[in-house]
Amino acid sequence: MPYPHRLSGSERAGLSPFIIATGDASPRDQRDLMERPFFSLAKSLRTKPILYEAGDVRVEVFASAEHGMATVWDADVLIWAGSQIVEAETLGLKTSRFLRFTPYQLLNAIGRQTGQREYKLLKGALVRLQSTSIRTTIRQGDHWRRHQFSWINEWEECVTRDGRVEGMECVLPDWFYRGVVDRSLVLTIDPAYFRLTGGIERWLYRVARKHAGHQRHGWLFDFLHLHKKSGSLVRFSDFALQLRRIVARQPIPCYRLVIEREGRMEMLRILPIPAPVDKGVDAVGTSHASPVGISHAGVSGLRTHKPQLSLWPEDAISAANIDSNRASNFSSAPRLVDRGPKTPRRAASLDGSDTADSPPFSSSPSFRPTRLPSRGAR
């Protein structure tokens, strides 16, 4: 399809495009973004910066007065982009920070509607991602790196001469791209995450996936430390109230939340829910395969093909997710508590509801991806 000529001053001019063929990829998130306050948890416009420090980790997020800070819903764009890059790298394909895609591919993958309204909301998300500036010491060694980056360096609608939109192009920052291609810094997430409607719920799932993982005893946080890690502008008392309501509803996929108390201190234990055990296979017959065929056949086989695109074996439980948590967390043993640095009991004024319904993105119905032939059993 036709794309506009890239100007020599554009960063895209020096990058080879990574063309998204189908958009199908298991969702994966970047570890560094899962536990620290990089995004606003409210839908209302936030201009007050996030200033977070724990040990030798510093995170500073600045918003523009016109567009506000990128939200946890806007971060779905980054999750999708990172998932596409990891999937392609697993297949041995060449990737790039320069992505070319159709809005339909993105919106469909993250469970959004595909109408004109949602397409406009997607463009709003891209604007906020580009206008939000970040400084951080994460993955930058002992020296504070004094340059700023945005979640998206640049983006553009690709249109024909008659004004018909054919797709989109965007350039991701090098900091994010390096964190995605390093597979040790990526975790799979449940697709049900995209159906979570509350900002705190979405942030809490990412914290749970990062810290609790598959550990039997999960992870334990005190409420004050969770409030600081969230970066939310709501008062601590309101934040604690929302946590109690979330515990009562149990909306977090794959995890169970339990409130524990030690004196006057409230703590949240995040426990993984064991995966259900598959039913046994009959003594005679083949498992999940057509009655006729040979192993590794394209259509039928004597045994089910394992997913070819997974980064981790299905029959193994990953190691405890405590390798990079020592700056602000302790062991996940039952009696140890992640209290974190002491913070004032009241934070800044309320910046908007953290539990409002998630705004859908959209694309024009005319955007339809061209699917390539299947690369094998998935």
Strands 165-171 and 149-150: unpaired
Average pLDDT, integer, range 66-92: 96
Per-residue pLDDT reduced to its tens digit, 52-61: 999 888 999 9
Which of 149, 18, 125, 148 lies closest to 75, judged by CA? 125
| Contact status, residue 172 vs residue 97, Cβ threshold 8 Å | yes
Q: Is the pLDDT of residue 165 over 50?
A: yes
Q: Is the pLDDT of residue 178 over 60?
A: yes
Q: What is the pLDDT of residue 11?
A: 75
Q: Tell me the average pLDDT of the chain.
A: 77
| Contact status, residue 323 vs residue 185, Cβ threshold 8 Å | no
| Contact status, residue 362 vs residue 119, Cβ threshold 8 Å | yes
Per-residue pLDDT reduced to its tens digit, 10-26: 777 778 899 998 778 99
Separation between Cα atoms, residue 321 and residue 124, nearest integer Å: 34
Please list the helix, strand and coil fractions of the chain in percent, rounded to the nearest 5, in that order.
Answer: 25, 20, 55
Confidence of residue 253 (pLDDT cuts 50, 70, 90): very high
| 190 alpha-carbon distance from chain centroid | 10
